Amino acid sequence: MAMKLVIGNKNYSSWSLRPWILMRQFDLPFEEIRVRINHPETKSEILRYSPSGRVPVLLDGGVTVWDSLAIAEYLAEKFPERGLWPREAPIRAHARSVACEMHSGFSALRQSMPMNCRADAPGVGRNADCLADIARIQAIWRDCRTRHAGKGPFLYGAFSVADAMFAPVVIRFTGYRVDLEPLAQAYCETLWSLPTLQEWVASGREESYRIEAYESLLPL
């Protein structure tokens, strides 16, 4: 029986993108179930699948896993041969630290530049707290890419959970046209060019459903 991944709208749901792109990049088969977020019936619909009332949710037979990072850990344990995390213990510990920092932090970036695949909004969201978040993300990317440059184009060479965690940031940086230093820009372009990410973005742009709180931030 194929796993099922319950996600929100692709245009807006950054948390849903993370396990989705991870599973697609590692060719883990799953059925996609999409639920509209920020809708009066959203929570009741998600509660059919998960006690949290939030997306994403992974259903694997009798196992239910919610939260994007918990899903990533479950998949890494279920498919150890795929190498969802770096295989070397010290590097894996660093990658987990980076992924957890992305998971729990950068609230100013989330609020000032909400994910919107349709965004083309240079200059929006440039407040001091958001700029500090952008600087910290660039520092993470710079450190990882400097250490692992010879292993491949992703944070730790090969694509991993850490890269999946930053996929929504790449959509933000691209749509809000954030000026990045050369190493960060190169990494951003690497993720942006992935066919899986482009598939998600194209699908998000095709959605007709709008969340006005997010759309109102964009220029007319």
> Where among 35, 61, 82 does a domain terminate?
82
**Which residues, including other chains, have CB under 8 Å from residue 167's CB and lie 6 or more apart?**
17, 18, 21, 191, 197
**Are residues 63 and 37 part of one domain?**
yes
Residue 106 belongs to a domain = yes
State whether 67 and 128 are in the same domain.
no
Q: Pick from 109, 133, 130, 122: which is nearest to 218 by CA? A: 122
Is residue 11 within 8 Å of 116, Cβ to Cβ?
yes
pTM for the model: 0.95
117: CATH: 1.20.1050.10
* Three-state DSSP class for residue 190: helix
Chain-centre distance of CA 60, in angstroms?
21
Same domain (yes/no): 121, 26: no
| 136 and 96 part of one domain | yes
- Strand, helix or coil for residue 48: coil
pLDDT in tens, 160-172: 999 999 999 999 9
Residues 150 and 133 in one domain: yes
Instruction: Give residue 216's pLDDT.
Output: 74
Instruction: Using alpha carbons, select from 165, 191, 182 the residue that is nearest to residue 100.
Output: 165
Give the model's pLDDT for residue 38: 75
CATH assignment of the domain containing 43: 3.40.30.10
Domain that residue 68 falls in:
3-82
Q: Are residues 111 and 43 in the same domain?
A: no
Q: Which residue has the tokens 């994403």?
A: 56
18-55 burial code (b ≥16 CB/10 A, e <16): bbbbbbbbbebebeebbbbbeeeebeebbeebbeeebb
pLDDT band, very low/low/confident/very high, at 7 (cuts 50, 70, 90): very high
- Closest to 179 in 3D by CA, of 123, 217, 128: 123
Maximum Cα interatomic distance, the chain, rounded to a whole number of Å: 49
Residues 33, 135 within the same domain? no
Q: Is residue 68 part of a domain?
A: yes
Q: Mean pLDDT score of the chain, rounded to an integer?
A: 94
Q: Does any domain span residue 212? A: no
Q: DSSP characters for 74-142?
A: HHHHH-GGG-SS-SSHHHHHHHHHHHHHHHH--HHHHHHS---TT---TTTT--HHHHHHHHHHHHHHH
Confidence band, pLDDT 50/70/90 cuts, at residue 193? very high
- Given a cut of 80, is residue 181 above it in pLDDT? yes
Same domain, 41 and 96: no
In a domain? residue 196: yes
User: Residue 40: is its pLDDT beyond 90?
Assistant: no
For the chain, what is the domain count? 2
Predicted confidence (pLDDT) per residue in 72-119, tens digit = 999 999 999 999 999 999 999 999 999 999 999 999 999 999 999 999
- Do 65 and 103 sit in the same domain of this protein? no
